[in-house]
């Protein structure tokens, strides 16, 4: 009888393009989401949570990464034949909600939402297939005041989470202007849809590829450093010049930029409409004192998703950080959005105007860490050590007392035989304080409180004689446990 092969053990590894988040990272993200939600709420937006799964039909095909399976989404087929997929952003689910509950929701409907999204795209350094987004949208108004409000709220949000004025800029453009430019370049009509799609995705890569790389993709195509070849839009030199002229239309101030854009879309009604909308947004922002130090008109912003129909916006961090090789570089975009007046129409057949913004939470957190504005390790709980196994109830009672006083605490639940291992555990947890009570202390109604942070500093800097005096550890009455520990936590900040 043939010997049965052993089932191989599964590999303990995170799937490619995904990552795990631990203690401090999760705490920092939750705090950032709270700060963002406060700003959104202050502007009158209500929270909404939608399912992580949508029908493929409801999501639509709007992702730029069309070469991946299922057009860039993680999708599967149900037994009944329906195709479902993980949401790739928060906007497509909102369109479905706005259509499904249109008779119950206020009009306009203002909502914010936050959570993970998934994209089946090629992973790379800092590019993951699952990431957090934090969105705010207004559905049901065509007024440019809604777009201006979104831009103002984005600026306020960045400042609220710790990006000061001068370290960011919100850039605004209008996809109608780009449509007008494409019309002038001879790319109008249904037969040119493929070329327009390539042009759109190419322009959105200007920061990454530079002018030469973009021009190559507007033409026949380009080969990257890895040898991969990307087919271009196949435009002639004159057509490419028109597109490149649009991307270089930014001037010294908003009015000069608008004047240049007006020249570029001469003869295009849709382009002229886009320029007029940009002017309206600029006037509304100026009335609220949002000047060019925070929000500017910039024709290079187009956004890669295919559903935008009007104004588009992007928040870029302007400070430099150092990459893995020690080279200075700009951090780049951390948020983007725009107007998508046709997305709800897919469900209802009626045009429902909408506009919104999405913040890439993971990128924003990475930027703050790179600048040293957050980071390090999160403070762990107070650890109550176990000296006597049969007195576990006493130790649990101490922990309960601390928790009732809103002090994070836990009892050591490992093997208490080696007391040194208990303190090592407390260090690994980042604990600020350890509580010690043996049978002698219990009989006298006292506890030993050990300031672990001060103790670590003394161990590193003090002489042996100073260390022996144990100034980081003292005895207090059990009834004073809460105020004694709170005093240490306040001193540690």
- The predicted structure's pLDDT at residue 462: 57
Domain match, 346 and 416 both: no
Flag whether 5 is in a domain. no
Query: What's the half-sphere exposure (Cβ side, CA atoms, 13 Å) at 32?
Result: 30
Same domain, 413 and 270: no
Q: Are residues 55 and 126 in the same domain?
A: yes
Q: Within a domain: residue 18?
A: no
Return left, alpha or beta for 406; rule: phi > 0 is left, psi -120 to 50 is alpha, else beta.
Answer: left
Cα radius of gyration (the chain): 29
d(C-alpha 257, C-alpha 249), whole Å: 6
- Helices 175-184 and 193-203 pack at an angle, to 10 degrees, of 120
Shared-domain flag, residues 222 and 245: yes
Residues of the domain holding 477: 382-492
Q: For residues 366 and 390, state if they share a domain.
A: no
Structural domain includes residue 377: no
Say yes or no: 201 and 266 in one domain: yes
Is residue 406 one of the residues assigned to a domain? Answer: yes
Of 344, 370, 396, the position where a domain reaches its end is: 370
Phi/psi for 220 (5° steps) reads: -80, -30
| Per-residue model confidence (pLDDT) at position 64 | 53
Domain boundary among 370, 400, 432: 370
What pLDDT is attached to residue 69? Answer: 47
Shared-domain flag, residues 466 and 343: no
C-alpha 141/C-alpha 354 separation (Å) is 6
Own/partner contacts of 103-110, CB < 8 Å, gap of 24 or more, are 107/140, 108/138, 108/139, 108/140, 108/141, 108/146, 109/138, 109/139, 109/140, 110/43, 110/44, 110/45, 110/46, 110/136, 110/137, 110/138, 110/139
376 within some domain: no
Which residues lie across from 222 on neighbouring strands?
Answer: 230
C-alpha to C-alpha distance for 8 and 346, rounded to whole angstroms: 48
Does 254 lie in the same domain as 387? no
What is the C-alpha to C-alpha distance for residues 65 and 121, in angstroms, rounded to an integer?
7
Closest to 290 (Cα-Cα) out of 161, 159, 413:
159
Whether this prediction's pTM lies above 0.75 is answered by yes
Would residue 176 count as lying in a domain?
Answer: yes
At 404, which CATH number? 3.40.50.800
Please tell me the distance from the alpha carbon of residue 450 to that of residue 162, in angstroms, as a whole number: 34
Do residues 216 and 333 both lie within one domain? yes
Reading the block at residue 454, the tokens are 């001060």
**Secondary structure string (H, E, C) spanning the chain:** CCCCCCCCCCCCCCCCCCCCCCHHHHHHHHHHHHHHHHHHHHCCCEECCCCCEEEHHHHCCCCCCCCCHHHHCCEEECCCCCEEEECCCCHHHHHHHHHHCCCCCCCCEEEEEEEEEECCCCCECCECCEEEEEEEEEECCCCHHHHHHHHHHHHHHHHHCCCCCCCEEEEEEEHHHHHHHHHHCCCCCHHHHHHHHHHHHHHCCHHHHHHHHHHHHHCCEEECCCCCEEECCCCCHHHHHHHHHHHCCCCCCHHHHHHHHHHHCCCCHHHHHHHHHHHHHHHHHHHCCCCCCCEEECCCCCCCCCCCCCEEEEEEEEEEEECCCCCEEEEEEEEEEEECCCCCHHHHCCCCCEEEEEEEHHHHHHHHHHCCCCCCCCCCCEEECCCCHHHHHHHHHHHHHHHHCCCCEEECCCCCCCHHHHHHHHHHCCCCEEEECCHHHHHHCEEEEEEHHHHHHHHHHCCHHHHHCCCCEEEEEHHHHHHHHHHHHHHHC
Total of domains in the chain: 2
Query: Is 14 a member of any domain?
Result: no
What CATH code is carried by the domain that includes residue 125?
Answer: 3.30.930.10
Q: What is the pLDDT along the chain (493 residues), one digit of tens a residue?
A: 566 778 888 999 999 999 999 988 899 999 999 999 999 999 999 999 999 999 988 888 766 555 554 668 898 989 888 899 999 999 999 999 999 999 999 999 999 999 999 998 888 777 789 999 999 999 999 999 999 999 999 999 999 999 999 999 999 999 999 888 888 888 887 777 777 777 777 777 777 787 888 888 888 888 777 777 778 877 888 888 888 888 888 888 888 898 999 988 888 999 999 999 999 999 999 999 999 999 999 988 877 666 789 999 999 999 877 766 777 777 788 999 999 998 899 899 998 999 999 999 988 998 888 877 777 667 899 999 999 999 999 999 999 999 999 999 999 999 999 999 999 999 999 999 999 999 999 999 999 999 998 876 766 665 555 545 556 889 999 999 999 999 999 988 7
In a domain, 37, yes or no: yes
Q: Are residues 248 and 198 in the same domain?
A: yes
Do both 390 and 359 map to the same domain?
A: no
Co-location of 236 and 322 in the same domain: yes
According to DSSP, the residues that pair with 316 across neighbouring strands are 169, 333
Return the structure tokens found at 407.
């002090």
Single residue among 319, 344, 370 that ends a domain in this structure: 370
CA distances from 382 to 113, 260, 277, 429 (A): 34, 63, 57, 9
pLDDT at 460: 65
């Amino acid at each position: 009888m043939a010997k049965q092969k052993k089932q191989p053990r599964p590999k303990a590894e995170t799937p490619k393009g995904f990552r795990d988040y631990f203690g401090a990272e999760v705490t920092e993200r939750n705090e950032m989401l709270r700060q963002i939600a406060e700003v959104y709420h202050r502007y009158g937006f209500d929270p909404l949570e939608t399912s992580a799964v949508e029908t493929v039909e409801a999501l639509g095909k709007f992702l730029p990464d069309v070469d991946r399976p299922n057009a860039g989404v993680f999708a599967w087929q149900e037994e009944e034949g329906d195709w479902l997929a993980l949401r790739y952003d928060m906007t497509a689910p909102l369109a479905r909600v706005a259509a499904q509950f249109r008779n119950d929701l206020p009009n306009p409907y203002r909502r914010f939402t936050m959570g993970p999204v998934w994209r089946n795209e090629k992973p790379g350094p800092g590019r993951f297939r699952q990431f957090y987004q934090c969105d705010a949208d207004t559905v049901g108004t065509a007024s440019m005041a809604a777009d201006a409000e979104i831009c103002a709220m984005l600026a306020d949000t960045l400042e609220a989470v710790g990006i000061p004025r001068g370290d960011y800029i919100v850039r605004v453009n209008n996809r109608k202007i780009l449509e007008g430019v494409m019309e002038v370049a001879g790319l109008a009509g249904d037969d040119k849809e493929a070329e327009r799609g390539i042009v759109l995705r190419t322009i959105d890569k200007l920061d990454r590829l530079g002018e030469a790389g973009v021009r190559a993709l507007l033409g026949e195509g380009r080969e990257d450093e890895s040898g991969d070849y990307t087919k271009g839009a196949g435009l002639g030199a004159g057509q490419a010049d028109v597109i490149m002229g649009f991307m270089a239309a930014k001037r010294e101030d908003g009015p000069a930029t608008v004047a240049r854009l007006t020249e570029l879309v001469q003869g295009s009604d849709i382009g002229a409409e886009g320029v007029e909308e940009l002017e309206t947004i600029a006037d509304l922002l100026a009335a609220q004192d949002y000047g060019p130090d925070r929000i500017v008109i910039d024709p290079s912003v187009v956004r890669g998703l295919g559903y935008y129909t009007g104004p588009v916006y992007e928040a870029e961090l302007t400070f430099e950080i150092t990459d893995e090789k020690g080279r200075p570089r700009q951090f780049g975009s951390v948020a983007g959005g725009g107007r998508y007046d046709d997305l709800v129409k897919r469900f209802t057949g009626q045009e429902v105007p909408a506009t919104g913004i999405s913040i890439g939470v993971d990128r924003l957190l990475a930027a703050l860490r790179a600048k040293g504005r957050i980071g390090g390790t999160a403070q762990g709980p107070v650890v109550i050590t176990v000296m006597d196994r049969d007195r576990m109830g006493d130790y649990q009672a101490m922990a309960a007392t601390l928790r009732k006083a809103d002090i994070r605490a836990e009892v050591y639940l490992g093997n208490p035989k080696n007391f040194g291992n208990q303190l090592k555990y407390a260090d690994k947890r980042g604990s600020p304080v350890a509580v010690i009570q043996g049978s002698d202390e219990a009989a006298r109604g006292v506890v030993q409180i050990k300031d672990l942070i001060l103790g670590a500093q003394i161990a590193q800097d003090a002489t042996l004689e100073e260390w022996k005096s144990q100034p980081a550890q003292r005895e207090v009455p059990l009834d004073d446990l809460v105020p004694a520990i709170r005093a240490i936590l306040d001193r540690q900040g």
